[in-house]
Amino acid sequence: MVEEHLEELAELARASDVAVVGQTLQRRRSPDARTFIGKGKAEEIAVAADHLAADLVIFDDDLSPVQVKNLEEIVDKQVIDRSALILEIFVQRARTREARTQVELAQNEYLLPRLTRRWTHLSRQAGGIGVRGGEGEKQLEADRRMLRKRIQHLKRDLAKIERSRKVQRRGRRDASVIALAGYTNAGKSTLFNRLTRAGATVEDKLFATLDSKLRRGSLDHDGSAVVFSDTVGFIRKLPHHLVASFRSTLEEITHADVVLHVVDRSSDHWQEQMEVADEVLEEIGVERDRVVTVFNKSDRVDGEGPSQVSDDRPAVWVSALTGAGVDDLKSEIRARLNGDRRALA
Ligand SMILES: Nc1nc2c(ncn2[C@@H]2O[C@H](COP(=O)(O)OP(=O)(O)OP(=O)(O)O)[C@@H](O)[C@H]2O)c(=O)[nH]1
Ligand SMILES: [Mg+2]
């Protein structure tokens, strides 16, 4: 289990253009308050990192600001945790004004209690991870003040963006909205393209999509229009600052009439990934009865297997890549929408 999590961490590092030169594990009953791992292990990492000429040491678990500081002293390299890495990927990927504002807010909130000399200006310099600041305490205090101001500013901006999103949503009330959600790399954008013929970015890389994208599409030949919404992927231990600042993007899912929970059924870890996405969906207030579970990448699974997760949770098999099963999925969506209307009448 821990090994698989480390593999995902390596995947995240690669998504952020960081090359992985070594990995190590430590098993212990409880984390050390000061250094997370044991001091001896930290010293061992210091030697290995030096030997491998690493610039950066990444931990799969969240570290407290104090732990980062102590570890950096021992390892003598920049130390970051999983949350910082995910934030960095988001920073690199954010394109629209909304996504950039959300990401910067999340990163600054994360950074504020962690601002040390090494972290200074991390997000603002080209090169991102690995950049070291070298200024003194005075500069640090000034940076903290600047960061606090910036956070206030970003929050105001975001409030404005959220208001205009609300207005847009009201304007779409005539059409039903179908949101695609799920673990990162599950194939949401591929399915979105298949359902709408839109050209959303598809990449075999974590977090290819950050901005939610809306496109009209139709569920049958008579052409009754619906709106599909492609959204940011979820991942195990998504930093809570990100969930908080992506609230307005995630609201596209919360307000959707039907949510397609896309699962990469060909992954060895599909169950865990599905559970992680279930948790996020629950957290943002999506009721189970609005969710259609979609088993994607059927072309990579031998003999498909049962069309359900459990007795009370059916699933639709599709291959977003080949288009297999997509008509069944459309019928399922239609049925859900009709069910909705009946329930409302
Ligand atoms: N074999 C196979 N590959 C697929 C299928 N659907 C998607 N993929 C591949 O899976 C990878 C991820 O696809 P995306 O559509 O970008 O996934 P996503 O869920 O939008 O990912 P993020 O935006 O990064 O969260 C790409 O390499 C796709 O080509 C499928 O049905 N079969
Ligand atoms: Mg995508």
147 and 293 housed in the same domain:
no
- Whether residue 78 has its Cβ less than 6 Å from ligand 1: no
215 and 312 housed in the same domain:
yes
Residue 173 φ then ψ, to 5°: -60, -20
What's the gap in Å between 146 CA and the centre of ligand 2? 34
**Angle (nearest 5°) at CA 63 between 61 and 69:** 145
- Whether residue 276 has its Cβ less than 6 Å from ligand 1: no
- Whether residue 253 has its Cβ less than 6 Å from ligand 1: no
SS3 58: strand
For residue 129, pLDDT beyond 70: no
Residue 4: what pLDDT?
84
pLDDT in tens, 318-340: 999 999 999 999 999 999 988 75
Tell me whether residue 175 is exposed, middle or buried, using C-beta atoms within 10 angstroms of its C-beta: 0 to 12, 13 to 18, 19 or more: middle
Of 11, 202, 209, which is best to mutate to test ligand 1, by the most ligand atoms within 8 angstroms of its C-beta? Answer: 202
Residue 344: what pLDDT?
39
190 and 302 housed in the same domain:
yes
Burial 19-52 (b: 16+ CB within 10 A, else e): ebeeeeeeeeeebeeebbbeeebbeebbebbeee
Number of domains composing the chain: 3
What's the gap in Å between 133 CA and the centre of ligand 2? 34
For residue 133, pLDDT beyond 60: no
Domain of 317 in residue numbering reads as 173-344
Examine the fold and report which residue of 98, 123, 158 is the final residue of a domain before the chain moves on: 158
Angle between helices 97-111 and 82-93 (to 10 degrees): 150
Strand partners, 225: 218
Percent of the chain scoring above 70 in pLDDT: 90
Q: Please state the rounded mean pLDDT for residues 109-120.
A: 73
Report CA-CA distances (Å) from 158 to 164, 275, 298. 10, 30, 39
What's the gap in Å between 12 CA and the centre of ligand 2? 15
What is the token pair recorded at 244? 């908080």
Report the alpha-carbon distance of residue 297 to residue 266 in Å, rounded.
6
Examine the fold and report which residue of 86, 108, 124 is the final residue of a domain before the chain moves on: 86
Residue 81 lies in a domain: yes
For residue 269, pLDDT beyond 70: yes
Per DSSP, which regions of the chain are E strands?
A: 56-59, 78-81, 176-182, 213-218, 225-230, 258-264, 291-296, 308-310, 313-317
- Whether residue 207 has its Cβ less than 6 Å from ligand 1: yes
SS3 293: strand
Split at pLDDT 50, 70, 90, the class of 127 is: very low
What is the token pair recorded at 228? 């599909």
Strand partners, 79: 57
Residue 167 lies in a domain: no
112 and 210 housed in the same domain:
no
What is the token pair recorded at 299? 């072309």
Instruction: Indicate which ligand has the atom closest to the C-alpha of 190.
Output: 1
111 and 52 housed in the same domain:
no
Residue 100 lies in a domain: yes
Residue nearest to atom 13 of ligand 1 (CA): 187
Split at pLDDT 50, 70, 90, the class of 121 is: very low
257 and 283 housed in the same domain:
yes
Split at pLDDT 50, 70, 90, the class of 120 is: very low
Strand partners, 56: 78
More confident site: 184 or 124: 184
21 in Cβ contact with 45 (< 8 Å): no
Residue 239 lies in a domain: yes
Residue 164: what pLDDT?
85
Residue nearest to atom 2 of ligand 1 (CA): 297
- Whether residue 203 has its Cβ less than 6 Å from ligand 1: yes
When the pLDDT of each residue in the chain is averaged and rounded to a whole number, the result is 86
Residue 130: what pLDDT?
45
What's the gap in Å between 44 CA and the centre of ligand 2? 39
Closest ligand 1 atom to 300 CA: 1
Q: Between the ranges 109-113, 198-202, 224-228, where is the mean pLDDT highest?
A: 109-113
249 in Cβ contact with 232 (< 8 Å): yes
Report the alpha-carbon distance of residue 154 to residue 98 in Å, rounded.
10
104 and 206 housed in the same domain:
no
pLDDT in tens, 92-107: 888 888 889 999 999 9
DSSP letter for each residue of 128-145 = -TT------HHHHHHHHH
Closest ligand 1 atom to 182 CA: 19
28 and 77 housed in the same domain:
yes
Residue 295 lies in a domain: yes
Residue 168 lies in a domain: no
152 and 29 housed in the same domain:
no
Split at pLDDT 50, 70, 90, the class of 221 is: low
Split at pLDDT 50, 70, 90, the class of 154 is: very high
264 in Cβ contact with 273 (< 8 Å): yes
Examine the fold and report which residue of 134, 158, 182 is the final residue of a domain before the chain moves on: 158
152 and 59 housed in the same domain:
no
β-pair type (176-182, 225-230): parallel
Find the CATH number of the domain harbouring 287: 3.40.50.300
pLDDT in tens, 183-214: 999 999 999 999 987 766 777 777 777 777 88
Instruction: Give the number of other CB atoms < 10 A from CB of residue 145.
Output: 10
Nearest CA among 105, 100, 136 for reference residue 120: 136
18 and 82 housed in the same domain:
yes
More confident site: 121 or 222: 222
Find the CATH number of the domain harbouring 66: 3.40.50.11060
Residue 164 lies in a domain: no
Report the alpha-carbon distance of residue 345 to residue 343 in Å, rounded.
6
Report the alpha-carbon distance of residue 60 to residue 31 in Å, rounded.
13
34 in Cβ contact with 67 (< 8 Å): yes
Report the alpha-carbon distance of residue 241 to residue 238 in Å, rounded.
9
Q: Please state the rounded mean pLDDT for residues 79-89.
A: 91
Split at pLDDT 50, 70, 90, the class of 241 is: confident
213 in Cβ contact with 262 (< 8 Å): no
234 and 291 housed in the same domain:
yes
